[in-house]
A and B are shown apart, each in its own frame.
Chain A
């Protein structure tokens, strides 16, 4: 049974594409057949982050417009044979995303027995974002620990519970997961960032993970490698935890304590 997961946020620049890339890669690393689709038509980035921008010949819009077959547009990842990328068109705009077309593409992917389809949503609350979330079974809502991002996530959570297919048809609601990215425990202690508790108090959505703020994310994007591939980094470990929790494993939260404190703990024999 194929599951469709939307990665969304409302606000731009919070880490949706980084998360889509690492999350989809993480699922494929577990041996799950995964396709990640870039819904950011006109501002495509996912192919860059995935390091396949030179291999994009056809894109999502070509498939939606029935110009080519889906299999021609699917780009297979170089490292993981279970991972496929469907790029967005750079020359079109969001109006090219037609609902019937999107549904047909998703159904064809289901027929190809994908385990997971990860939809990388554009920022905003317009057509692109609505199309990306419409057929979702689960949602990763990406939030930065600051007020405007949290407010926008709140808006998106509202749309997930009212504008999606599941909401409209009155079925089981879309399962929501909160993912906090660019978390810097030191700055939280200093009062410059919202804490996990603050964010939970506002959004009241189950937390699936915390990705620490890190230089390695930038490094990964520049290299065209999903951050989860950067072995031994906090970011990679954090994304692996997210994938594990998503698949139902119980993992304690990591990277949420200020560095000073963990050093303190180490010295005094704490864990």
Chain B
């Protein structure tokens, strides 16, 4: 569990099992968090895209998420904003800050719990502190400190953890989620951290999501999203491929682009090869 030297309670001998003093321990820990990489500074655009791709519900069960602004295209404000004749040019000292408040509201609405921002400008950082978000520094590794506890000391700790990045938490086996009833239009199932097995039909308008692979022993007519947290080795298997949408690790294909005849309505698997989603018939 990636304990670091920041274990304040450890005795000088280093026997951590010896005694635990006090009512709490302040340790540096590593947690796996969702990261929201923003690719646009236009919140209206992001909101519309979010509604289209995530929808209203989301159903993220209040997972913590780090808002990563490092990928936002920061156009030099003066060049981007056409200066109207006679009007005083505004905010020439840098790009306009991203509307973090709107973003946080958007995430809350989908049951996500923003905890920190990364790659923020000083202006955005000030806004983030107001909203109770911590500063996740440069590295995408984040201390899950209480909101507002982002002091100098915490930043120090974060650096220390990155050194210990090699200590991977041994992957605890996540039980496969098995669904034996039909998934009807409007229903959604998410296999967090593992694989999903569905033994009945996934109807048009239903969604099956897994961090691992998805196995459907019936027709797949709705949406299937495998490798939801970026696992590019995840695959989708079904006895009859009729999906509205197929996605592996964020690379997707919709039914607008008709399925090739050799897989449409047939047993098939879907996987990633590089950046390309491959649809392959399964032997019957």
Q: Which residues of A contact B (CB under 8 A)?
A: 151-152, 154-155, 157-159, 161-162, 173, 202, 204
Q: Which residues of B contact A (CB under 8 A)?
A: 181-187, 200-201, 203-206, 221
Given contacts A202-B203, A204-B201, is CB(A155)–CB(B185) below 8 Å?
A: yes
Given contacts A158-B182, A202-B221, 7 further A-B contacts (CB under 8 A): A151-B185, A151-B204, A155-B205, A157-B184, A159-B184, A202-B203, A204-B182
* Shortest CB distance B62–A (Å): 21
For B186, the closest partner residue in chain A by CB is A155
For A160, the closest partner residue in chain B by CB is B184
Q: Quick check: B187 and A162 within 8 Å, CB to CB?
A: yes
Q: Quick check: A151 and B205 within 8 Å, CB to CB?
A: yes
| Interface of chain A: mostly helix, strand, loop or mixed | helix
* Shortest CB distance A29–B (Å): 33
Which of A151, A152, A157 is the one whose CB lies under 8 Å from B182? A157
* Shortest CB distance B185–A (Å): 4
For B188, the closest partner residue in chain A by CB is A158
For A157, list chain B residues within 8 Å (CB).
Answer: 182, 184
For B221, the closest partner residue in chain A by CB is A202
For A158, list chain B residues within 8 Å (CB).
Answer: 182-187, 203, 206
For B206, list chain A residues within 8 Å (CB).
Answer: 158
Instruction: Give 27 A-B contacts (CB < 8 Å), ordered by A residue.
Output: A151-B185, A151-B204, A151-B205, A154-B184, A154-B185, A154-B203, A154-B205, A155-B186, A155-B205, A157-B182, A157-B184, A158-B182, A158-B184, A158-B185, A158-B186, A158-B203, A158-B206, A161-B181, A161-B182, A161-B184, A162-B187, A173-B181, A202-B203, A202-B204, A204-B182, A204-B200, A204-B201
Q: How far is the CA of A58 from the CA of B116 in the complex (A)?
A: 58
For B181, list chain A residues within 8 Å (CB).
Answer: 161, 173
For B187, the closest partner residue in chain A by CB is A158
Q: How far is the CA of A155 from the CA of B203 in the complex (A)?
A: 9
A152, A158, A159, A173 interface centre (most CB from chain B within 10 Å): A158
For A154, list chain B residues within 8 Å (CB).
Answer: 184-185, 203-205
* Shortest CB distance A124–B (Å): 13
Q: How far is the CA of A23 from the CA of B37 in the complex (A)?
A: 56
Q: How far is the CA of A137 from the CA of B149 in the complex (A)?
A: 53
For B186, list chain A residues within 8 Å (CB).
Answer: 155, 158-159
For A10, the closest partner residue in chain B by CB is B185
Q: How far is the CA of A142 from the CA of B157 in the complex (A)?
A: 62
* Shortest CB distance B12–A (Å): 54
* Shortest CB distance A63–B (Å): 32
* Shortest CB distance B70–A (Å): 40
* Shortest CB distance A260–B (Å): 30
For B205, list chain A residues within 8 Å (CB).
Answer: 151, 154-155
Q: How far is the CA of A157 from the CA of B185 in the complex (A)?
A: 9
For B206, the closest partner residue in chain A by CB is A158
For A204, list chain B residues within 8 Å (CB).
Answer: 182, 200-201
User: Closest 7 interchain pairs by CB?
Assistant: A158-B184, A154-B185, A155-B185, A158-B187, A155-B186, A154-B184, A154-B203
For B222, the closest partner residue in chain A by CB is A154
For A161, list chain B residues within 8 Å (CB).
Answer: 181-182, 184
Q: How far is the CA of A161 from the CA of B203 in the complex (A)?
A: 14
